[in-house]
């Protein structure tokens, strides 16, 4: 007769922790969905906002730039006269012949050669960084994996560790090692005791991930894009199109700026054409010669 299996204390506690982990994983999945939905909605709204508004703002900026160039000529005549006097005073200097370049004396020593380009920095990690990287490699190298899932986790950690090592980032490399030491996949072996440790570490990882998700959501909700989208959603409840209203106001500003620019252009004095340069003696046409009458005529 087979003896009934009596669960050990570790197995009882493991079942309790697995139930706790299942509830926590469901909550984590909901929070992950909430975060990605919020991020995706903000990205879509920002893309739509840029498609609608960026062209309008660029058009308005171009009009204001042209108005700024013409406005001083109309609003400040004294400044215009001063600028014309400055141009007239600077004209002889601009048209004057450049001063001849003095030759370099022959008795001076030769010029020193240009300094060589600095060599590219070589990768020379400190001994402490090397020892830390060896510890990381021994702890989480994919060759030490016990299965495909464990190997995949180790591979991802090694990619991050290699990037930190190549950047000589000792703090990041140490943080990766500590993260792996607390990761469920770092526990090796089998049995109720080992499974219990893995379950406890999964619970800890879920709780840490929940904290990170809360921080990410708060950061997104503090962004200007979230505030703009919130106002647009509130306006939509009252059958208003907030972006449409903003676009209409920009169109009115563009129309006003266009009218102002055309008015400024119409007030500009007409351009004075320079008289044509006199023809040179070589280019002057020769007067026609009269035919000489024949002798005796």
Q: Which of these ranges, 1-10, 29-38, 243-252, has the smallest mean pLDDT?
A: 1-10
Q: Which of these ranges, 15-24, 34-43, 89-98, has the smallest mean pLDDT?
A: 89-98
pLDDT at res. 194: 86
Q: Which of these ranges, 75-89, 156-170, 204-218, 247-261, has the smallest mean pLDDT?
A: 75-89
Task: Give the rounded percent of residues in the chain with a pLDDT score beyond 70.
Answer: 72
Kindly tell me if the per-residue pLDDT of 93 is higher than 60. no
- The enclosing H or E element of 178 equals helix 170-181
- In Å, how far are 26, 156, 174, 178 from 164, measured between CA atoms? 33, 13, 9, 14
pLDDT at res. 71: 73
Closest CA to 192 of 4, 6, 8: 8
Contact 167/129 with Cβ under 8 angstroms?
no
pLDDT at res. 297: 47
pLDDT category of residue 24 using cuts at 50, 70 and 90:
very high
pLDDT at res. 91: 41
pLDDT at res. 108: 47
Q: Which of these ranges, 141-150, 259-268, 278-287, has the smallest mean pLDDT?
A: 278-287
pLDDT at res. 117: 64
Contact 173/133 with Cβ under 8 angstroms?
yes
Q: Mean pLDDT in the chain?
A: 79
What is the maximal distance between C-alpha atoms in the chain? 165
Residue-wise pLDDT for 243-280, tens only, equals 899 999 999 999 999 998 898 888 887 765 666 666 55
Task: Characterize 19-28 residue by residue with b for buried, 16 or more Cβ atoms within 10 angstroms of its Cβ, and e for exposed.
Answer: eebeebeeeb
Phi/psi-derived region of residue 152, left when phi > 0, alpha when psi is between -120 and 50, beta in every other case: alpha
């Amino acid at each position: 007769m087979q003896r009934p299996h009596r669960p050990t204390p570790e197995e009882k506690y493991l079942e309790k922790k697995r139930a706790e982990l299942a509830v926590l994983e469901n909550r984590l999945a909901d929070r992950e969905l909430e975060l990605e939905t919020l991020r995706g909605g903000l990205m879509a709204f920002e893309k739509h906002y840029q498609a609608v508004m960026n062209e309008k703002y660029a058009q308005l900026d171009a009009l204001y730039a042209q108005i700024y160039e013409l406005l001083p000529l109309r609003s400040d005549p004294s400044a215009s006269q001063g600028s014309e006097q400055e141009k007239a005073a600077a004209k002889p200097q601009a048209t004057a012949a450049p001063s001849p370049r003095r030759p370099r004396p022959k008795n001076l020593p030769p010029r020193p050669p240009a300094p060589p380009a600095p060599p590219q920095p070589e990768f020379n990690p400190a001994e402490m960084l090397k020892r830390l990287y060896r510890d990381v490699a021994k702890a989480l190298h994919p060759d030490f994996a016990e299965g495909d899932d464990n190997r995949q986790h180790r591979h991802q950690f090694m990619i991050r560790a290699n990037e930190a090592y190549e950047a000589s980032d000792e703090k990041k490399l140490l943080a990766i090692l500590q993260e792996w030491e607390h990761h469920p996949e770092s526990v090796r072996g089998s049995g109720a005791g080992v499974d219990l440790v893995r379950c406890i570490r999964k619970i800890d990882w879920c709780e840490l991930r929940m904290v990170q998700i809360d921080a990410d959501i708060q950061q997104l909700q503090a962004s200007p894009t979230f505030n703009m989208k919130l106002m647009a959603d509130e306006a939509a409840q009252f059958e208003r199109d907030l972006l449409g209203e903003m676009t209409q106001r920009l169109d009115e500003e563009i129309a006003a700026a266009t009218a102002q620019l055309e008015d400024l252009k119409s007030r500009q004095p007409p351009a004075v054409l320079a008289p044509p340069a006199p023809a040179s003696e070589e280019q002057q046409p020769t007067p026609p010669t009269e035919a000489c009458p024949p002798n005796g005529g």
